[in-house]
Amino acid sequence: MALVRRDSTTAPDDDDPQVLGRRLTDPDAEIRRRAALGLDGVAEAVPALLARVPVETDPAAREAVLTTLAALDRADVAAGLVPHLASDDAALRTAVSGALAAMPASVPALLPALLANPDHDVRIMTAMVLADLPHPGAADWLAGIVATDTHPNVVAAAVDALLPMAGPGHVEVLAAVPARFPGDPFLRFTIDAALPALREAPA
């Protein structure tokens, strides 16, 4: 998720969490954005910030809300954001996946449920989170999706996320994919194009 620049100028009450919390619903989007950034590190503001995520219509203000939440990297924050991966709003789904990808301490505990979610779109978004999650287990989780998920679009998303971090140890799991989805030429093409370089890469 892109970092949001915090403002260097402050008004006298800009450090008051109660004032900033009220400003999260101000009609002025710039005031909402500044308020969200001003709540950085304020744990008691989490409920108000989470409540703002699905209703915030201004992209910059929503990004500020998510930046502040992601910086906390807490289990309750991650749990509060995860349901939006199933949103009908594509921009919201993408923004939330970016926030979750910036939370390596709290997201891993949620992965088993996310990877078993019956909604394949949620599993696709989970692959997107793993693509950018700075965690040493990200490649293994993605390889697990590639090896076991039954939906070709989920596997395609996981393949795309895995390839930039893949090595010779992933050749076997990737090479098995075309046989599992013989009717998907995109998957076959993507994997066939990647395998020669992976086989020659240093272990």
What pLDDT, in 10s, does the model give residues 3-25?
A: 454 454 445 456 799 999 999 99
pLDDT of residue 202: 77
pLDDT given at position 12? 45
Residue 28 is assigned to a structural domain of this protein = no
CA distance 65 to 52: 8
**pLDDT of amino acid 34:** 96
Q: Is residue 185 part of a domain?
A: yes
Residue 59 lies in a domain: no
175 lies in some domain = yes
- Predicted confidence (pLDDT) at residue 54 exceeds the cutoff of 80: yes
Check whether 121 has a pLDDT greater than 50. Answer: yes
User: Closest by alpha carbon to 191, among 136, 133, 147, 151?
Assistant: 147
Residue 9: the pLDDT is 46
pLDDT, tens digit, 9 for 90 and up, residues 24-51: 999 999 999 999 999 999 999 999 999 9
Summary mean pLDDT of the chain: 93
The per-residue pLDDT for 2 is 53
Please report the pLDDT score of residue 203 as a whole number: 64
> For residue 14, what pLDDT is reported?
67
Average pLDDT on 177-198 reads: 94
pLDDT at 10: 46
The answer to whether residue 161 sits within a structural domain is: yes
Evaluate if residue 186 carries a pLDDT over 70: yes
Residues 87, 93 contacting (CB under 8 angstroms): yes
Residue 153 lies in a domain: yes
Q: How many domains does the chain have?
A: 1
User: Quick one: pLDDT at residue 15?
Assistant: 78
Residue 126, in any domain of the structure: no
Q: Which residues contact 17 (CB under 8 A, 6 or more apart)?
A: 39, 42, 44, 45
**Residues 61 and 93: beta-carbon distance below 8 Å:** no
pLDDT at residue 1, as a whole number: 54
Could you tell me if residue 146 is inside a domain?
yes
Q: Which domain holds residue 155?
A: 136-203
Residue 127 has pLDDT above 70, yes or no: yes
Global pTM reads 0.89
